[in-house]
């Protein structure tokens, strides 16, 4: 989204889109805090956050915001948030790749089941669990930062960034819990007889899981594009 024209300062009152973004972020936060999270909820969350970043980009490009963001007292804070956003972009890309690996793993598991190869099935399940846990290690590098002080727009960017981190962290935790659990559930790949190497896994369940991994991959890709766009808009303002 191209940015044009500039005004003398940041607006004194919130733009209507800012109020909408704040409301959407609060709604998303409440959703993530729910005790009944599902993979579908996480996918919807990634899409909604992508839409929120699209709204933030519109705010960035408002003529009344552009010159204010490049003022000395705001510029340093904006640059700090840009550095943090780069870490988030790297994380988002890594999560997208991880979801793609998980989707491929479900496809390989389906083939192993069709061939009735218990050893291969067992190895694929263990590999699947490792992939799910792998995502959790990514968050050490992208630990949450305190909300930046500064204009409303910078605070919105910081809140959206932390929401993205929470979404990805909750998603990886949910995947690990649902995949590695030995209790009977809709997503369980392993029965209570796991120790006896007896695998109970319907092909239909795996197909649903594969589809869910694809949804998460698409959701992460959608958010990744929005993150890039908002970052480019900020960089254009600072460099012009």
Closest-CA residue to 9 (of 174, 191, 207, 151):
151
Q: Lowest-pLDDT range, 46-60, 112-126, 133-147?
A: 133-147
CA distance 174 to 185: 13
- Axis-axis angle for helices 16-32, 39-60 (nearest 10): 160
User: Distances from the Cα of 110 to the Cαs of 115, 116, 127, in angstroms?
Assistant: 9, 10, 14
Q: 231: alpha, beta or left, given left = phi > 0 and alpha = psi -120 to 50?
A: alpha
pLDDT category, 218, cuts 50, 70, 90?
A: very high
Share of the chain above pLDDT 70, in %: 68
pLDDT of amino acid 136: 61
Judge whether residue 113 has pLDDT over 90: no
Q: Which residues contact 66 (CB under 8 A, 6 or more apart)?
A: 3, 5, 6, 7, 60, 237
> Each residue of 121-133: pLDDT tens digit?
566 666 666 666 6
pLDDT of amino acid 51: 94
For tokens 């491929």, the residue is 104
CA distance 167 to 15: 26
Average pLDDT over residues 180-192: 43
Q: Which residues contact 154 (CB under 8 A, 6 or more apart)?
A: 69, 74, 77, 78, 81, 148
Q: Lowest-pLDDT range, 11-15, 77-81, 89-93?
A: 11-15
On the CB side of 174, CA atoms within 13 Å amount to: 23
pLDDT of amino acid 236: 85
For tokens 């896994």, the residue is 201
Q: Is the dihedral of CA 65, 66, 69, 72 positive or negative?
A: negative
Average model confidence (pLDDT) across the chain: 75
pLDDT of amino acid 223: 95
pLDDT of amino acid 147: 52
Better-scored residue on pLDDT, 106 or 134:
106
Q: Lowest-pLDDT range, 97-106, 118-127, 182-191?
A: 182-191
pLDDT of amino acid 182: 36
Q: 22: alpha, beta or left, given left = phi > 0 and alpha = psi -120 to 50?
A: alpha
Beta carbons of 62 and 234 less than 8 angstroms apart: no
Average pLDDT over residues 207-214: 86
Average pLDDT over residues 41-63: 91
CA distance 58 to 2: 10
């Amino acid at each position: 989204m191209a940015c044009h024209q500039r005004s003398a300062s940041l607006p004194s009152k919130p733009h209507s889109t800012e109020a909408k973004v704040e409301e959407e972020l609060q709604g998303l936060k409440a959703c993530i805090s729910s005790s009944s999270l599902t993979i579908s909820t996480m996918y919807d969350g990634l899409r909604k956050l992508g839409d929120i970043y699209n709204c933030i980009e519109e705010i960035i490009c408002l003529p009344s915001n552009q010159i204010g963001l490049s003022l000395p007292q705001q510029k340093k804070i904006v640059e700090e948030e840009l550095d943090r956003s780069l870490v988030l972009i790297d994380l988002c890309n890594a999560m997208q790749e991880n979801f793609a690996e998980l989707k491929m793993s479900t496809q390989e598991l389906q083939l192993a089941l069709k061939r009735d190869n218990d050893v291969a099935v067992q190895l694929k399940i263990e590999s699947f669990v490792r992939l799910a846990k792998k995502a959790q290690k990514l968050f050490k590098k992208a630990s949450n930062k305190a909300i930046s002080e500064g204009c409303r727009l910078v605070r919105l960017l910081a809140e959206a960034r932390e929401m993205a981190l929470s979404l990805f962290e909750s998603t990886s935790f949910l995947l690990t819990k649902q995949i590695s659990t030995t209790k009977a559930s809709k997503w369980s790949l392993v029965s209570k007889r796991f120790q006896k190497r007896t695998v109970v896994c319907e092909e239909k369940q795996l197909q649903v899981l594969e589809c869910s991994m694809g949804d998460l991959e698409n959701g992460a890709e959608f958010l990744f594009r929005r993150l890039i766009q908002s970052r480019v808009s900020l960089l254009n303002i600072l460099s012009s």
